[in-house]
Amino acid sequence: MQVKIFWEWEKTKELSTKVKYILDELGLADFIKIEETTDESLKTELNIKEIPALIIEEESIDFKDVIFEGIIPEDEELKSMFTSIIWGWDMDSCAPTDCGWCSSAPVCGV
């Protein structure tokens, strides 16, 4: 999986910094590549109207989509998005197996 961040102005680099921080916090920084881009053909292809734009791309299934456009989401929004995409579950509930993430129950799913 790859995260692309489309931006044109220095102030929008904040999104890239946030995404890097969140991926590191979630332990995903080694698995998800981040690329900053100003590629106009990508902007046209995905019909990006506002920047910054956070794009998720998964080449193995030929998937590419804009997730956030024109905003810099809060940390919790980014965490929730990445956990639901990667693990398929909501951070506010337990994972389907014992992952060590949830400290509120002795075994996840309980």
Q: What's the chain's Rg over C-alpha atoms?
A: 15
Cis peptide leading into 52, omega within 30 of 0?
A: yes
Q: Residue 105: pLDDT above 50?
A: no
CB neighbour list of residue 102: distance below 8 Å, 6 or more residues apart: 94, 95, 108
Q: What is the pLDDT of residues 28-71, one digit of tens each?
A: 888 888 888 889 999 999 999 998 999 998 888 888 889 999 88
Determine contact, residues 84/90, Cβ cutoff 8 Å.
yes
State the pLDDT at residue 43.
Answer: 93
For residues 100 and 77, which has the higher predicted lDDT (pLDDT)? 77
For residues 73 and 110, which has the higher predicted lDDT (pLDDT)? 73
Dist. CA 110–CA 95, nearest whole Å = 10
Please give the structure tokens belonging to residue 60. 């193995």
| Domains, the chain, ordered by start | 2-86 (3.40.30.10)
Average pLDDT over residues 88-110: 47
